[in-house]
Amino acid sequence: MLFSASQIALLINGTVEGDPNATVGSFGKIEEAGEGQLSFLANPKYEEYLYTTKATIIIVNESLELRQAVSPALIRVKDAYSAFAALLGKYQEFKQQQLKGIQQPVYLSATVSYADDVFIGAFAYLGDNVKVGEGSKIYPGVFLGDNVVVGKNTTLHSGVKILHSCQVGNNVTIHAGTVIGSDGFGFAPQADGSFSKVPQIGNVIIEDDVEIGANSTIDRATIGSTIIKKGAKLDNLIQIAHNVEIGHSTVVAAQAGISGSTKVGNGVMIGGQAGIVGHLHIGDGAKINAQSGVSKDLEPGKAVTGSPAHDYTSALRSQALSRKLPELEKRIKELEQVIVQLRPTV
């Protein structure tokens, strides 16, 4: 399907500069795009491609000053990156709206309930008393255990497993291979040195507007709920242990691990491969640098790095000093020689 520059400008509240009737049918990177494709320019490092690209339409910032004439039609907006992201979202939404109905074969329990406009892909399994809200997309190979609730306009990509009694809110996206509600890691040590499994009878609650990347795992609570609060964004390959709570609008990068019963506040930023031990409280707005090991509570707004994690600013000073150690050693030796020369001779 083709869209004109004027139509796209209307969608993103932009102004066309050039041919308003120029049409595109797909997207491309500015350095690689060809005729009939739309791209964007937000990073000044890529401005040189604006004058050589073969793209038909380019979204640019209002503030951009051209150094020479360009062949593509331009759509000027306040923030090219945000406008392009919004346009991609609308495009994806349009494509998903075409997905409706139930493919075959699937397994649907007799007690499943779902809205008329949902999509359920082939080889999906929906157990007893599963509920799926309006506009949701269940891609092929998804497993929904007994008593699972999925809200409205939620997308579960292929291979997602949501085990019994877990709840997923509205406008949630869970990417391929993620497991929600597997048992928490709970074992009681015995007198003979063995371990006895502690039954995990809680669930996982994922609130509205959450996105979870591929191949992540979120364990069910021992008792109560593991909770991912509204607007949180989790990357690929993340481990969230039992009874953890992730605050709203918190972001967690790939390969991070959060141990059991830790409470992460609102608006926290956790870098890739960071590890957080159990039963901690991470205050609102805290920032944890990549590969940090957090073993103590963090106050709101605290920024830490390293393993064990310590104050970010102090760590930067230490790093700066460590780079100067060879120079400092040289100066100390020079001072020692001066001191030797200044000593009185007997």
Neighbouring residues of 99: CB distance < 8 A, sequence distance ≥ 6: 119, 137
* Euclidean distance between CA atoms 299 and 282, whole angstroms: 7
248 is catalytic: no
Type of residue at 22: A
Q: Residue 276's closest CA among 289, 293, 298, 288?
A: 293
Cβ atoms of 295 and 277 closer than 8 Å: yes
* Euclidean distance between CA atoms 289 and 129, whole angstroms: 42
Q: Which residues of 221-249 are buried (b: 16+ CB within 10 A; e: fewer)?
A: bbeebbbbbbbbbbbbbbbbbbbbbbbbb
* Residue 305, token pair as written in the block: 């790095």
Helical H segments across the chain, by residue range: 5-12, 80-97, 312-323, 325-342
Catalytic residue among 242, 279, 281, 310: 242
Q: What is the DSSP string of 155-191?
A: EE-TT-EE-TT-EE-SS-EE-TT-EEEEPP--EEE-T
* Euclidean distance between CA atoms 292 and 237, whole angstroms: 17
User: What's the first-to-final CA gap in the chain, in angstroms?
Assistant: 98
Active site residues: 242
